Chains A and B, each alone.
Chain A
Amino acid sequence: EPEVTQTPSHQVTQMGQEVILRCVPISNHLYFYWYRQILGQKVEFLVSFYNNEISEKSEIFDDQFSVERPDGSNFTLKIRSTKLEDSAMYFCASSESGILNPEAFFGQGTRLTVV
């Protein structure tokens, strides 16, 4: 069964450092998403991406965040200058179509720890 894969599974970084979280969406999917979940809290939407541009973003997704699809398979989330409060589980998701297809497939997540 096709799946969304995320790397690394766990990343520890120092405050102020840049991190890049990587995702390989399902190959025929066209819509890509990042969500995050701070420990013990709700899953929060960050951003959706289609046709090489952001289609929607939340208030959380401020200037320190960026997304990119550098090639035909990878989808990345960059955090420019990490803060302690960025520590969370980050989930990538993809769907075949954004609005018409309700089923978003999620990866297993990257646990980001900022120290």
Chain B
Amino acid sequence: DAKTTQPPSMDCAEGRAANLPCNHSTISGNEYVYWYRQIHSQGPQYIIHGLKNNETNEMASLIITEDRKSSTLILPHATLRDTAVYYCIVRSRSNDYKLSFGAGTTVTVRA
């Protein structure tokens, strides 16, 4: 019952922007898009979340399409330490405590 689709892997050059796509075509009006990452079997780390507006924080930017059926996480200047599995998660904020992790995108940043 995956709610999101992500490419299994992608490479990125160090210092360049990394653009990670996510499809969530069945997202409903009260569901938010969250991004987490997991560096080499460490605990997942929150990156950013959004509903319909674009969001930016110190780690990344989140661009959500107007129809909300897809989004892109942007790491503006990827470093080797950004190599990780990135998870796009759709979650309702009205009645859903859990985070449902999919397989994510394995991002490898290369020097």
Query: Among B42, B93, B103, which residue has its beta carbon within 8 angstroms of that of A100?
Result: B93
B46 adjacent to A103 (CB under 8 Å): yes
* Count of interface residues, chain A, beta-carbon cutoff 8 Å: 27
Query: Among B91, B93, B102, which residue has its beta carbon within 8 angstroms of that of A42?
Result: B102
B45 adjacent to A106 (CB under 8 Å): yes
Cα of A42 to Cα of B41 in the assembled complex, Å:
11
The total of interchain contacts (Cβ-Cβ below 8 angstroms) comes to 58
A68, chain B: closest CB distance, angstroms: 18
Cα of A13 to Cα of B102 in the assembled complex, Å:
29
Question: Contacts of A105 on B, CB cut-off 8 Å?
Answer: 46
A35, chain B: closest CB distance, angstroms: 8
A24, chain B: closest CB distance, angstroms: 14
B97 adjacent to A102 (CB under 8 Å): no
Give the interface SS of chain B, mostly helix, strand, loop or mixed. loop
Question: Contacts of A107 on B, CB cut-off 8 Å?
Answer: 43
* Count of interface residues, chain B, beta-carbon cutoff 8 Å: 23
A56 adjacent to B98 (CB under 8 Å): yes
A37 adjacent to B41 (CB under 8 Å): yes
Question: Contacts of B91 on A, CB cut-off 8 Å?
Answer: 102
A102 adjacent to B94 (CB under 8 Å): no
CB of A21 within 8 Å of the partner chain = no
A108 adjacent to B96 (CB under 8 Å): no
Within 8 A of B (CB), among A49-93: 55-56, 58, 89, 91, 93
**From A39, which residue of chain B is reached at the shortest CB distance?**
B41
Interface residues of A (CB under 8 A from B): 4, 31, 33, 35, 37, 42-45, 48, 55-56, 58, 89, 91, 93, 98-100, 102-109
Interface residues of B (CB under 8 A from A): 32, 34, 38, 41-46, 49, 87, 91, 93-103
Q: Could you list some 10 contacts between A and B, CB below 8 A?
A: A31-B97, A35-B101, A45-B98, A91-B43, A93-B43, A93-B44, A102-B49, A104-B99, A106-B44, A109-B42
